[in-house]
Amino acid sequence: MKAFGLFLWLVVLNCGTPFQLSRDASGQKSAYDGVPGVHRKALADSVERMVYLQRTRQWAKIYDLLDKNDRTDSKDNFVRKASRGPKLLAFSPKNATHSPIHEDEWLIVGCGTFLRNGTNSSWESILFGRLAGDKWSVSMVLLSGGEDQGLTSCRAT
């Protein structure tokens, strides 16, 4: 993910855009309703897989799944750094939005629950999904902040 694109996405997030879920044909709310139907399930499955790998702290597998553009470090350094971060306990997607900057990219916003300094806290969180052909590559769940950084807590569902 290019730094400029990330900066713009964070600006969009901090503008207070509310989470809005639409309803699918069965009347159920889906965070992925904005994603074209042919790609919707594959994106949801990719996000679910990344969340599972991150929850179970399988950093080497995560590194292998990351888009080449998101690999800014060696595998060993990535594993070492990632293992020191807060532990993801859960992620509930709220909305998937198509990038106005990158045609093949989507931003998945939701509520992530993390174990940080011995305390469980839920914060607005994000993942990026990139579509190449018919295959999705997604980033790790990233904190979009914490109260001490002026960011927003959320309620996990």
pLDDT of residue 87: 94
**For residue 20, is it within any domain?**
no
pLDDT of residue 23: 41
pLDDT of residue 106: 95
Element housing 135 (H / E)? strand 135-138
Cβ proximity of 142 and 50 under 8 Å: no
Sign, CA torsion 102/105/109/114? negative
For the segment 74-120, what is each residue's pLDDT rounded down to a tens digit? 999 999 999 998 899 999 999 999 998 888 899 999 999 999 888 99
For the segment 45-60, what is each residue's pLDDT rounded down to a tens digit? 999 999 999 999 999 9
pLDDT at 20 over 80: no
Average pLDDT of the segment spanning 37-49: 95
**For residue 111, is it within any domain?**
yes
- Residue whose tokens read 């694109």: 5
**For residue 10, is it within any domain?**
no
For the segment 114-139, what is each residue's pLDDT rounded down to a tens digit? 998 889 989 899 999 999 888 999 99
Q: Are strands 105-116 and 119-132 parallel, antiparallel or unpaired?
A: antiparallel
Question: Which residues are within 8 A (CB) of 107 and not within 5 positions of it... i.e. 6 or more apart?
Answer: 9, 12, 96, 97, 99, 126, 127, 128, 129
What Cα–Cα distance (Å) separates residue 94 from each residue in 55, 117, 122, 127? 19, 26, 14, 11
**For residue 16, is it within any domain?**
no
Distance CA 56, CA 43 (A): 20
pLDDT at 10 over 80: no
**For residue 3, is it within any domain?**
no
Token pair for 6:
């990330």
**For residue 6, is it within any domain?**
no
Domain that holds residue 43: 33-149
**For residue 74, is it within any domain?**
yes
CATH code assigned at 144:
3.10.450.100
The number of folded domains in the chain is 1
Confidence category of residue 17, pLDDT binned at 50, 70, 90 = very low
pTM score: 0.77
**For residue 154, is it within any domain?**
no
